[in-house]
Structure 1
Amino acid sequence: MLLLLLKKVISDFKNIFGVKITRIRTDNGSEFINNYRNNQKKNTVKETNFTQFLKDKNIFHQTTPVRSPQSNGKIERFHQNYTKLFVFEEKILNAVSLQNKLNDYYYFYNFERVHKSLNFQTPFNFLNSLIK
């Protein structure tokens, strides 16, 4: 699922905005970095599908320092915001309802909510101002 979404994002940035993604920054989660769990006996490194995908697309993978959420502040703040939103919501009983809630929140966050760090613009408007 992650790779399908990433392929779409890369394609959309290229086709819609004319922007080629050359670097992606992530934390050190096991979904993003080399996977040692299956290779402990052999003492070899197995790349994740994510790292192999980036390598194939010639995209530099930058990771944040370990135990330093402040170095990835924007996404940490995003996680904090949507966690607050869902903590006080009613229980969501199925995956479709959850996906609908997430879609609504992503739309609000990117197209309606202004961000102080973006000079009180929405992320969409800020990105558009960079490519004009």
Structure 2
Amino acid sequence: MSHRNARLTVHGRRLLVERVRSGRPVAHVAAEMGVSRPTAHKWVRRWRAEGEAGLADRSSRPRTTPHRTGAETEARVCELRQSRKLGPARIGPILGLPPSTVHRILTRHGLHRLAWLDRPTGRPVRRYERSRPGEMVHVDIKKLGNIHKVTDRRHAMDNKQATTTVRKRGKPVIGYSYLHSAVDDHSRLAYSEVLADERKETAAAFRQRAHAFFTRHGITVERVLTDNGPCYRSGLFTQTLTAAGIAHKRIRPYRPQTNGKVERFNRTLLDEWAYLRPYTTNTEHTQALTDFLHTYNHHRCHTALNGQPPINRVNNAAGQYT
């Protein structure tokens, strides 16, 4: 494998072979390029045997590992990890293995990070991403309690605490708001509205406005993925999608991971908008959503997009598919 001080890269090996093919002695070419004659002969020999593919880097992994942990022991390590969520320091004493060996086994099987496992089942999370914008749009609803005016600074740390305090003092929250959101699977471009309910008519109307939003950004929606809420099971919601030539997909019951793009967006909304600071009124809270959405779509760095905002991926895809 190449390293940062390597004399020959793939390009250098190709140049070495071309000079040898021109009729020059291997020893002279090796001296010019600062490598030994055996090394030069090695690359020429590989090129003659395999062609251009022989000049590529190869893995330094050995062909056989006689002292590797047995398959049954590895299976037992994986079983303890997935069923009991134990780490190397606890699995090691149970099986009589060094923790370092347990960690290598978990890494080999992709189980060394608990965040990569589905907590209830212990199975590795299968992450997916559609290949182009509009191929799949995730839609969901988040229920939020309406905000009371905060007048006591002791209870104004955040909206969660303020709401809890009001309940304890015998003043229940007056109603709820429903945050309807749509997130494009490929680009993560998002659209949200705070609405009064989650009825089928409201969900269908939101879907149409979200469709118009994605259309303005040059995205043609092909599929919509929702959970199994009553408004999404209604004939009205499906009919509006069918009329627009959009396929309606629903997740398996009790599998919110499938709709994970919008579920993660809901969590971001709670952290960076809903409970970011104390809001004095529900109107102020709703108006702040517009500013957040602009920041999220146009400026906020997204780890799944290599640190770029969603709008950049939309623009890149537009140039790719035009």
How many pairs does the alignment contain? 117
1:18-97 pair list within 5 angstroms = 19-34=219-234, 47=235, 49-85=236-272, 86-94=274-282, 96-97=283-284
Change in 2 beyond 3 A, CA 1:21/1:88: closer
Partner secondary structure for residue 225 of structure 2: strand
The one of 208, 219, 232 aligned to 1:7:
208
Instruction: Compute the displacement of 1:79 (Å).
Output: 0.6
Structure 1, unpaired ranges of 5+? 35-46
In the alignment, the residues of structure 1 paired with residue 275 and residue 215 of structure 2 have an alpha-carbon distance, to the nearest angstrom, of 36
The structure whose residues are more often helix, as a share, is 1
Indicate yes or no: 2:305 matched with 1:118.
yes
Instruction: Compute the displacement of 1:92 (Å).
Output: 4.0
Indicate yes or no: 2:296 matched with 1:109.
yes
Change in 2 beyond 3 A, CA 1:83/1:16: closer
In the alignment, the residues of structure 2 paired with residue 81 and residue 16 of structure 1 have an alpha-carbon distance, to the nearest angstrom, of 22
Partner secondary structure for residue 277 of structure 2: coil
Identity of matched residues, %:
28
Partner secondary structure for residue 106 of structure 1: helix
Normalised to the residue count of structure 2, the TM-score between the two structures is 0.33
Instruction: Compute the displacement of 1:7 (Å).
Output: 2.5
Normalised to the residue count of structure 1, the TM-score between the two structures is 0.75
Instruction: Compute the displacement of 1:88 (Å).
Output: 4.7
In the alignment, which residue of structure 1 is the partner of 2:125?
none
Higher-Rg structure is: 2
Instruction: Compute the displacement of 1:14 (Å).
Output: 3.8
Q: Which amino acid aligns with 2:315?
A: N
Residues 81-122 of structure 1: per-residue CA shift (max 9 Å, x gap):
11123235214423x212211111111111111111112211
Change in 2 beyond 3 A, CA 1:69/1:16: closer
Structure 2, unpaired ranges of 5+? 1-201
Partner secondary structure for residue 11 of structure 1: helix
In the alignment, the residues of structure 1 paired with residue 250 and residue 280 of structure 2 have an alpha-carbon distance, to the nearest angstrom, of 33
State the structure with bigger RCO (CA 8 A, min sep 6), 1 or 2.
1
Q: Which amino acid aligns with 2:211?
A: I
Partner secondary structure for residue 83 of structure 1: helix
Q: Post-superposition, which runs of at least 4 consecutive aligned residues in structure 1 deviate over 3 A?
A: 1-5, 11-16
